[in-house]
Structure 1
């Protein structure tokens, strides 16, 4: 499948204010929801945000990196900021951070992106490098704290699969029940699936 050309040179990051960067990311996600990944173009982002394409390519190598950065930016809570003092509290804070309306929008967006990533290796690479791997590293730090507190056994085999379980909670409900995950469902999921698996 043809993809939009990307700058072969490593982009030079220019200084954008956090507010301006947030505006760009919001526009990217809005366009994604409107037309999907394949139809999203850097031209459309530039027009929507009154930015130049040159600025976009200096900040991000291309569309995959811009989309992955926008997704990471819009997360309602940073995994690294979560520290409630208990593993259960941390997991519930991570899973139920967004309100139900936002979770429904995000779930639909991620379903579309997962289909796009299947056909676009550049998008899959960007999502892994810029979103999935950093999030898993931060989740690992959350779980290590629980191990250090003595809540979870260091050799518990489920520790390697917490990320999989968390993603599964969002994906499976729509497939199995044709319903979007909401905070009540995710809270029950944490208590019924993840907490027992970790031996808590």
Structure 2
């Protein structure tokens, strides 16, 4: 292939940022609708009227495409929260998660299932989706310890992030118990804050 033809081919295969976001949104919609197994290169291509060859050329495989879509979406519940107190931070985090239920919660559930079922995707999901949220919650607790709000040896501090993520994951299984109130804020007030000794 001549240099001119190669340049023309590269130009044709380049995906604009807007088109990339459109493709990512299709991936996220498929994740929400049916979980990781529902995402296929063929399905994304059909939904976006994009050539399957273009998807493979750009992302190589489904795990790479899914990870890129999740990384671009950064559906963050907890990053950037800093109210000045640990109780305030955790209450705001619980409210933020409750406000963003629905599409984001469906995505978190799909990601959680994929994390367990697909080892090839696990490390990418940890790095892209889970670790930033866990780090944000851990930072809230660390600041609380540094301010003297929580004893450094309080063992409940290690369980804040797992508890938050766990309740988000299983909340729908207990809808009958939380018809009036959101599960995470209620769990925070009834379990986490008392265990930490803050109010």
Q: Name the TM-score, length of structure 2 as normaliser.
A: 0.71
Shift of 1:35: 3.7
Report whether the alignment pairs 1:125 with 2:114.
no
**RMSD between aligned residues:** 3.3
- Given the superposition, is the C-alpha separation of residues 98 and 51 from structure 1 closer, same or farther in structure 2, using an over 3 Å criterion? farther
Aligned residue for 1:7?
none
Structure 2 equivalent of residue 75 of structure 1:
75
Q: Deviations over 1:134-163 (max 9, x none)?
A: 322232222222222221122221121111
- How much does 1:130 deviate? 1.9
Q: How does 1:23-102 map to 2 (within 5 A)?
A: 23-51=22-50, 56=55, 60=59, 62-71=61-70, 73-75=73-75, 77-79=77-79, 81-98=80-97, 102=100
Matched residues, number = 184
Q: Confirm or deny: 8 A CA contact 1:174 1:181 kept in the other structure.
A: no
Q: Which runs of 5+ in 1 are unaligned?
A: 1-13
- The superposition leaves residues 69-115 of structure 1 with CA deviations (integer Å, 9 ceiling, x where unpaired) of 54452525451x11111111211222221555x51344344444433
> In the TM superposition, what is the alpha-carbon distance from 1:49 to its structure 2 partner?
3.7
Change (3 A) 1:137 1:99: closer
Which blocks of at least 5 consecutive residues in structure 2 are unaligned? Answer: 1-13
**TM-superposed deviation, 1:165:** 0.8
Q: In 2, Cα distance between the equivalents of 1:24 and 1:180?
A: 36
Report deviation, 1:25.
3.0
Q: Which has the larger radius of gyration?
A: 2
User: TM-score w.r.t. structure 1 length?
Assistant: 0.71
Distance 1:45 1:189, change over 3 A: same
Is 32-41 or 189-198 further displaced after alignment? Answer: 32-41
